[in-house]
Chain A
């Protein structure tokens, strides 16, 4: 386990990450939200952003989708600046945003339809994944007929079938009860192991971050800065048993400490 200061430009240049934020500032009118956030994501990596509620995590995603323009700083995809010409990311919003008038199957194909794929072809592409996501029997159900966990699976499937090279998941399990959440984390870890998508994940759940991530960025309270970057050395595939391993416990404790200190600093400021 290592704890490093925020990345330096030289290091990022050598590795040519998939995605890189460099000194990103953002303010909503007078409200300063991001105070120079720098982070990067390599291809096939699962990286988590943890930080207190309201610190600006969702704002980072909003910038990545182009919905919000940063006040200053750079966002680079494959080393070119983010713009209308660069590829889009597939987003799973904090609320699952499933459409109540579409059956699960038609919700899942929404992204492909927007891309201009015909409904028939979209369904064919999704079909084989329904089983992997445990949604086979629910394909014809409406979202409001599903449990919270199933809804999140549907929302995640809708995200991954868009076939984008980076997935942005905003607190995917935030609305679930503790037991379901643990199940879903284990499930996500196992499907991620199969597909190895490049994932940027937001959470405020420290254990979730440690359990799922290759690396973790810890943000300070608003205005957010990266106060620590932590690499998780646990082997994959990860299992529930790992939750009590010394490495897990140590990483979790360190993150807790960093978050606590950052909050104290913010209070003094």
Chain B
């Protein structure tokens, strides 16, 4: 049987009572409390270190601008992600189908991950302008790799007995791929998606920073110039929330697309 899945990215053991997130909240709460006390009592200027309360308050007052810019960033991230997933599927299938193409493409793919973002982001913006396209391309460039690699590992985890069985039934290569290799790779795909999503929002923001008309990157740049450190922090907070939200969304998507996976893990880990 091939329930061999990838190592879970978060918590191999999840508490069943629903209080598993409590320790994290406690740690965050303690950190925020200490920060609040330090920022208000030490006499440090709010332009250097605003207190958490001030960050939240300022962010709330400027919620209109924050919201519009967040939507712009979210849109770039999601489109970039869709492109990365599409490219990941196509590339992984090509590489899986042919050893020659694997040998030809793998070095290129690895090479693509060594391009320094500081150099490539301004270039892409020079080539494609200040609009949506360069951001989508940059997010996709940095996210397709973990997705492709995860899919390839997934294909290779296919149970050889299952493949032999399908062949004995008269299945051709495409049928074996569709009925065995692709479904086997789905849990791996979601693991790859989670790795990619943790930095894709940051990549989108960086791309905006290099040249854009809207987005959290633009917002951060503008507020930095006018020394509104509290609003910069507010934007950082929003970035974190968006990333965590997207991360959680991959679990929701996983539950919808491969419901068997969660059930199998619950059944086998009793």
Contacts and interface: CB of A to CB of B under 8 A. Distances in A.
B35 to A, nearest CB: 46
Contacts of A65: 164, 167-168
B2 interface: yes
Interface in B174-217: 175, 179-180, 183, 186
Contact of A100 (B170, B171, B264): B264
A59 to B, nearest CB: 12
B1 A95 contact: yes
Given A95-B161, A101-B258, A144 B169 contact: no
B1 A114 contact: no
Main secondary structure on A side of the interface with B: loop
B267 A114 contact: no
B162 A97 contact: yes
A142 B168 contact: no
Interface residues of B, number: 26
Contact of A142 (B167, B170, B175, B264): B264
A233 interface: no
A97 B161 contact: yes
A101 B82 CA distance: 24
B28 interface: no
Main secondary structure on B side of the interface with A: helix
B268 interface: yes
A144 B270 CA distance: 12
A264 B12 CA distance: 50
A99 B258 CA distance: 13
Contacts of B183: 99, 101
Interface stretch (A30-38, A86-94, A194-202): A86-94
A144 B3 CA distance: 9
A60 B96 CA distance: 30
A97 B159 contact: yes
B249 interface: no
Given A97-B162, A100-B260, A144-B268, A88 B168 contact: yes
Interface in A19-50: none
B90 interface: no
B263 interface: yes
Contacts of A113: 179
B238 interface: no
Interface string A91-110: 10111111111000000001
Contacts of A94: 161
A89 B162 CA distance: 16
Interface in B151-175: 159, 161-162, 164-171, 175
Interface string B139-160: 0000000000000000000010
Interface string B109-151: 0000000000000000000000000000000000000000000
A189 B231 CA distance: 77
The 4 A-B residue pairs whose C-beta atoms are closest, nearest first, are A114-B169, A65-B168, A97-B161, A91-B168
Given A100-B260, A101-B186, A145-B263, 11 more contacts: A67-B167, A67-B168, A97-B1, A97-B159, A97-B162, A99-B183, A100-B264, A114-B169, A114-B175, A142-B264, A144-B1
28 contacts: A65-B167, A65-B168, A66-B168, A67-B164, A67-B167, A90-B168, A91-B165, A91-B168, A93-B164, A93-B165, A95-B159, A97-B164, A97-B165, A99-B162, A99-B180, A100-B1, A100-B260, A101-B183, A101-B258, A110-B166, A111-B169, A113-B179, A114-B171, A142-B263, A142-B267, A144-B3, A144-B268, A145-B263
